[in-house]
Amino acid sequence: MNELTIWLTYHDERQIQEYGLKETETIRLFKGNDVSIDGDNINHLNRFYSELTTMYYVWKNRIESKQIGFCHYRRMFRDFFEVEKGQCQVMSINYGSPVFQHYKIAHNYQDMYDAVNVLNELYGDKNPYSQYLLKGNVFIPFCCFIMQYADFEELCEFLFPVLFAWDKKNGLDMNPARYMEKAQRDFRYDDVNYQCRAVAFLAERLISCYIVCNMKPFCVNTL
């Protein structure tokens, strides 16, 4: 088992040269929209789930390393530090950033309410995760982190059931066409190709939520 593996997500072969991507003893490249790959995956939804397709693939296929990290072609870790159980290295921690208000300005706030309703169904009213999404003011962006594999498993066991319940609540059925139709309804006058990643934007908040509520994050320099 490797001590540390950082999975770097890309979706276009041209990005390898453009961003100088390469595999090392630590870095492993993953094409998030490769639907020909073996193993349990949701790569057909990469346009909407972004780097979450990599996380899902690693989690479901139990590709273990003692410590595991995730980043993507535009944001990469420059320095790696050993993390203990319960610790998490991240790229940025934004203090005084109201999570719900920021989401409401940038995206469809009904999606956030739907996620809160899912959390309430799973964890009961006034659970810490719903409270964070509605009232939290510490935000860890980018879905990029390094943690121990056991912590990563626990994160995924929290994250993906919420996302898939949100999918079901909105009648999307893991169907790319329905995800795009939803974006076209919600953002008729906005950039649909950007806003169609609603589930990824929610996941960014949910990952931040989980780390803030359950772990000890620390931040270092990034590229």
- Convert the pLDDT of each residue in 29-72 to its tens digit: 999 999 999 999 999 999 999 999 999 999 999 999 999 999 99
Rounded mean pLDDT of 193-211?
97
> What predicted TM-score, i.e. pTM, was given to this entire model?
0.96
Instruction: Give the per-residue pLDDT at 1.
Output: 65
Give the tens place of pLDDT for each residue, 176-188. 999 999 999 999 7
- Cα Rg of the chain (Å, integer): 17
* Contact between residue 70 and residue 7 where contact means Cβ atoms under 8 Å apart: yes
The residue ranges of every structural domain in the chain are 2-219
Beta-strand runs (E) in 132-173: 138-139, 145-148
> Residues 78-106, buried b or exposed e (16+ Cβ, 10 A)?
eeeeebeeebbbbbebeeeeebbeebeee
Measured distance CA(78)–CA(94) in Å, rounded: 19
pLDDT (mean) for 70-88: 95
Q: Over the chain, what is the mean pLDDT?
A: 96
Confidence of residue 223 (pLDDT cuts 50, 70, 90): very low
Among 31, 8, 55, smallest CA distance to 160 is for 55
**What token pair was written down for 202?**
């929610």
In the chain, % of residues over pLDDT 70: 98
